[in-house]
Amino acid sequence: MIAADARCGARYVDELVAHHVSGQIKLAPEHSEPHVLEAMGKPGTESLLAFKQLFDEANLRHGLKQYLTYYLIAAHPGCTDEDMRRLCRFAQKHLKLAPEQVQIFTPTPSTWSTAMYYTGRDPSTGNPIHVTRGLRARQAQKEMLTPIPQR
């Protein structure tokens, strides 16, 4: 909403950065792939990148070193292994980071995502949707972003 507010968005972010951030802000883009974001009921990455640009510019203007951290999800219904590889490339290229903390999707009662997980269908269309099942497969998706260190 901030990035879409042409009249006050930049001023709001400037005020936020200058007076209300204690070092970092955590955002929840959760993913980068349009069909996965659609399954999550989330907008595309354009608004995230617009906010990041406003945030980075405000930090430069004020001579501050504050950071954005990101909440990302693996194994959400609709997400394939290739989608996770694309999310990894997106995070490296556009967010300039190698994620260290990634949540594996956990079904919770009364959500569309959980309905998709258990039925393998998108409730809004009835169409089949990819669901990664099994702990190993779900963990493997997470490790595409956060590899386990070699011992």
Amino acid 1: pLDDT: 80
* Number of domain units in the chain: 1
Could you tell me the residue range of the domain that residue 47 belongs to?
9-143
Residue 58's alpha-carbon distances to 38, 97, 106, in angstroms, are: 30, 20, 36
Q: Where are the alpha helices (DSSP H) in the chain?
A: 9-19, 34-40, 46-62, 81-94, 112-119, 135-143
Percentage of the chain beyond pLDDT 70 is 97
Q: What is the pTM of this model?
A: 0.89
- Does the pLDDT at position 135 exceed 80? yes
How far is Cα 15 from Cα 54, in angstroms, rounded to an integer?
11
Residue 22's CATH number: 3.30.750.200
Whether the pLDDT of residue 88 is over 60: the answer is yes
In a domain, 109, yes or no: yes
